[in-house]
């Protein structure tokens, strides 16, 4: 193992290098993967530090914490991704303030986001969250239910369906990681075959971004490897 970089800037560089290497290994252009820096539990100062090092896309899970951070960094040209569970009574700030929502998993949420997206903004970019690990407790729609929801979301006027997202159960087994990411890739291909225009596979985190990129990830959501271990209970 190389030494663990100690500054945020060095950790961010190390993550970018992992992405570059993972792309090279499967002959994908490095520009085909967008790094979303997951800043949950870290302060706005950490977002600023990453932004100063060239990071533009940030992901947040917890709405109130996210809104505070958006306010505190409103002077920066950042792209914000909502990646946490979406409660139906909390869709409005997501529709109003975010550029992306990765975790749409039911029709009601999608309809509310579309109705609440301000006319002055471009349509909200959305991914449908898919449960690729099959646990009863996980969020996300079952693979079999993705096509029906995708057609509904694609037809909503103020949303732009970009693709699919998954958070597989953690496992060290790279073959298992790849199979789950492959499931998402195949689902996206099936939707495209049915005529939907999609360009996004949001999959891969600190521990498994290589497997995700090997299976076609276009967005990796990385927290710990950039910002360090999260300490609070959030």
Size of the site for ligand PLP (CB under 6 A): 13
> Smallest distance, Å, CB 72 to ligand PLP?
20
> Smallest distance, Å, CB 210 to ligand PLP?
13
Name which position in 166, 205, 213, 219 contacts ligand PLP (CB under 6 A): 205
Residue nearest to ligand PLP (CB): 223
Q: Does 83 bind ligand PLP (CB under 6 A)?
A: yes
φ, ψ at 117 (rounded to 5°): -70, 125
Instruction: Produce one character per residue of 24-42: b if its CB has 16 or more CB atoms within 10 Å, e if not.
Output: eeeebeeeebbbbbbbbbb
d(CA 154, CA 198): 10
Closer by beta carbon to ligand PLP, 50 or else 222 = 222
Q: Does 206 bind ligand PLP (CB under 6 A)?
A: yes
CA distance readout (Å), 141 to 34, 106, 166: 24, 8, 10
Give the E-state strand segments of the chain in sequence order: 34-38, 57-60, 79-82, 100-104, 124-129, 159-165, 200-202, 219-222
Closer by beta carbon to ligand PLP, 97 or else 151 = 97
Q: Does 130 bind ligand PLP (CB under 6 A)?
A: no
Q: For the chain, state the CA radius of gyration.
A: 17
Q: Does 167 bind ligand PLP (CB under 6 A)?
A: yes
Q: Does 38 bind ligand PLP (CB under 6 A)?
A: yes
Residue 33, both tokens = 């993967």
d(CA 78, CA 69): 11
Q: For residues 53-72, which are near ligand PLP according to CB under 6 A?
A: 61
> Smallest distance, Å, CB 98 to ligand PLP?
14
Chain residues that interact with ligand PLP, rule: CB under 6 A = 38, 40, 61, 83, 167, 205-207, 221-225
């Amino acid at each position: 193992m190389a030494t663990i970089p100690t500054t945020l800037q060095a950790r961010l560089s190390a993550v970018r290098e992992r992405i570059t290497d993972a792309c090279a290994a499967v002959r994908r252009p490095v520009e085909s993967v967008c790094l979303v820096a997951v800043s949950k539990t870290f302060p706005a100062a950490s977002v600023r530090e990453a932004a100063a090092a060239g990071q533009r896309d940030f992901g947040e899970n917890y709405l109130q914490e996210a809104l505070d951070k958006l306010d505190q960094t409103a002077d920066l040209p950042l792209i914000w991704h909502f990646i946490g569970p979406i409660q139906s009574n909390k869709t409005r700030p997501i529709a109003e303030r975010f550029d992306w929502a990765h975790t749409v998993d039911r029709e009601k949420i999608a309809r509310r986001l579309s109705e609440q997206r301000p006319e002055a903004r471009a349509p909200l970019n959305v991914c449908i969250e898919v449960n690729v690990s099959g646990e009863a407790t996980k969020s996300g729609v079952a693979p079999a239910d993705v096509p029906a929801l995708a057609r509904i979301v694609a037809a909503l006027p103020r949303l732009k369906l970009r693709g699919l997202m998954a958070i597989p159960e953690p496992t060290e087994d790279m073959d298992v990681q790849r199979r789950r990411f492959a499931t998402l890739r195949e689902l996206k291909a099936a939707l495209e075959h049915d005529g939907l225009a999609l360009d996004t596979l949001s999959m891969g985190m600190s521990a498994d971004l290589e497997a995700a990129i090997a299976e076609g990830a276009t967005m990796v959501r990385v927290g710990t490897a950039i910002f360090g271990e999260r300490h609070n209970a959030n």
